[in-house]
Amino acid sequence: MPDISSLLASIAWPQAALLFGLVFIAVFFGPIRRFIERIKSVGKEGVTTLEALPSAQIAEQKKKAVEDLMRMPDSALLNELEDVIVLDLASRHLDTESDTTKVLVRHLAATQIALEFEQVHSVIFGSQIYLLKKLNEAASAGLELAVIDKHFENVQKLFSEQLGSWSKEGYLRFLFNRVLIRTDEGRYRITVRGNDFLMWLVRMGRSENRPL
């Protein structure tokens, strides 16, 4: 069995130097990277580094970063979904107070809304979007049942081949299931989600010229 000296002798000097270099980099990679990031200039006088930022400035930068990441169109629906996500996290005894969590919760809620509205837009009828806009215009008072009946009759006549066998309830079911409309004291009203969907159409430049 070869002793340690013969084993070391079998390792060529360039190989040993390379091995030592790799170990050195692995151990000191973090400090080296932070040092390089602070280098301001290199000259004949040596290396000049940036001064470490004071804690107050770091805190201000962190605050601004959080504000930038949290900045997006606010809405009751977004806030509602954020509350749902936070409650779910809390029920699992997970962090809900850190800035990182708040940013991720807001972006998750916004992503869920965007995905849902993309799905709605892929199957909604153009006449249903028109109805949502009419309900939005009458948001304070809503629309009477007779107005909804008249709208459906007109749509059914225009698209008799496709909707001839449909009922008004069947036509409106999609809007109810997606919580885009609701009824209140015998009147039809647009929901917060329905209002946000209309704003999303405008903001994203989605066409209202859907089939039917």
63 in a structural domain: yes
What's the pLDDT at 103?
86
Q: For residue 179, give its domain range.
A: 124-204
Shared domain for 112 and 134, answered yes or no, is: no
173 in a structural domain: yes
Paired tokens of 25: 């980099």
CA distance 20 to 159: 78
What is the amino acid identity at position 53?
L
What's the pLDDT at 39?
55
What's the pLDDT at 99?
86
What's the pLDDT at 185?
87
CA distance 174 to 164: 17
Domain count, the chain: 2
1 in a structural domain: no
156-184 confidence digits (pLDDT tens): 999 999 999 999 999 999 999 999 999 99
What is the amino acid identity at position 74?
D
What's the pLDDT at 11?
47
Residues in the chain with pLDDT values less than 70: 1-63, 65-73
194 in a structural domain: yes
Query: Among residues 116, 147, 162, which one ends one of the domains?
Result: 116
What's the pLDDT at 85?
94
Is residue 7 classed exposed, middle or buried when 0-12, 13-18 and 19+ CB atoms within 10 A define those classes?
A: exposed
Report the run of H or E that residue 40 belongs to, with start and end.
strand 39-43
Q: What percent of the chain has pLDDT over 70?
A: 66
Shared domain for 77 and 99, answered yes or no, is: yes
Shared domain for 138 and 101, answered yes or no, is: no
CB 164 within 8 A of CB 155: no
3 in a structural domain: no
What's the pLDDT at 65?
60
What's the pLDDT at 55?
66
Conformational region of residue 82, where left means phi above 0, alpha means psi within -120 to 50, and beta covers everything else = alpha
Shared domain for 102 and 130, answered yes or no, is: no
Closest CA to 135 of 69, 177, 204, 193: 193
